């Protein structure tokens, strides 16, 4: 997935669509938009960072799951078998992106899986379809004809925490370093 932050307007439609599509309970999120504000008036800007599971190419959650309840499929999506998960929460501790949560209603671990039920039916993920600014582009990076491949080929892009060696598969165009830094803006951590 590619998120073009030049187009993002910070409307939270993706978060709402995800909640509705996947019946995500109160208090937890599969997809959310981090918002930061930087500078002093009149030189001030807001930056958005839509966040979700990065479907890493080398996912630490998959390596560390002791019961093979989560794995990476051939198409690149990391999914969870909810009937096999024992809820040891080691994957939550291993994920560098805070993408996983324990469902408060049904005690198992869940996360974003690019709406694979929709993708297999030939639709786009809910957050992609609902984005009014068309900031989210979903597709196959191995196909040179797809829009996502063309955009990534033509623009500078960033990924979150590349130093973790996870090879994240959510790409950002025009991401702000402060929005991508977990410590920026936290006074108690400066």
The site for other proteins (CB under 8 A) is made up of 28-29, 32-40, 46, 51, 60, 63-69, 84-90, 92-98, 100-102, 107-109, 163-164, 178, 182-186, 188-189
Q: How far apart are alpha carbons 161 and 159 in whole angstroms? A: 6
Q: Provide, rounded to whole angstroms, the least separation between the CB of residue 24 and other proteins.
A: 11
Q: Provide, rounded to whole angstroms, the least separation between the CB of residue 163 and other proteins.
A: 8
Q: Provide, rounded to whole angstroms, the least separation between the CB of residue 119 and other proteins.
A: 24
Q: Which is nearer to other proteins, 89 or 117 (CB)?
A: 89
Q: What is the 3-state secondary structure (H, E, C) of the chain?
A: CEEECCCCCCCCHHHHHHHHHHCCCCCCCCCEEEEEEEEECCEEEEEEEEECCCCCCCCHHHHHCCCCCEEECCCCCEEECCCCCCCCCHHHHHCCCCCCEECCCCCCEECCCCCHHHHHCCCCCHHHHHCCCCCEECCCCCCCCCHHHHHHHHCCEECCCHHHCCCCCCEEECCCHHHHCCCCCCHHHC
Q: Which is nearer to other proteins, 18 or 126 (CB)?
A: 18
Q: Which is nearer to other proteins, 39 or 144 (CB)?
A: 39
Q: Which is nearer to other proteins, 108 or 151 (CB)?
A: 108
141 near 27, Cβ under 8 Å?
no
Q: Provide, rounded to whole angstroms, the least separation between the CB of residue 77 and other proteins.
A: 18
Q: Provide, rounded to whole angstroms, the least separation between the CB of residue 14 and other proteins.
A: 13
Q: Which is nearer to other proteins, 23 or 40 (CB)?
A: 40
């Amino acid at each position: 997935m590619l998120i073009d932050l030049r187009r993002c307007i910070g409307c939270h439609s993706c978060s709402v669509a995800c909640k509705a599509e996947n019946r995500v309970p109160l208090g937890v999120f599969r997809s959310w938009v981090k918002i930061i504000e930087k500078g002093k008036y009149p030189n001030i800007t807001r930056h958005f960072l839509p966040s979700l599971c990065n479907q890493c190419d080398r996912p630490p959650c998959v390596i560390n799951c002791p019961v093979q309840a989560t794995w990476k499929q051939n198409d690149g999506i990391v999914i969870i078998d909810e009937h096999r998960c024992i809820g040891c929460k080691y994957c939550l501790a291993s994920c560098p992106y805070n993408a996983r949560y324990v469902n408060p209603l049904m005690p198992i671990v869940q996360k974003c899986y690019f709406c694979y039920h929709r993708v297999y039916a030939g639709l786009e993920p809910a957050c992609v379809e609902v984005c009014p600014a068309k900031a989210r582009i979903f597709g196959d990076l191995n196909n040179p004809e797809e829009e996502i491949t063309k955009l990534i080929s033509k623009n500078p892009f960033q990924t979150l925490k590349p130093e973790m060696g996870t090879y994240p598969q959510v790409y950002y165009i025009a991401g702000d370093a402060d929005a991508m830094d977990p410590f920026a803006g936290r006074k108690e951590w400066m």
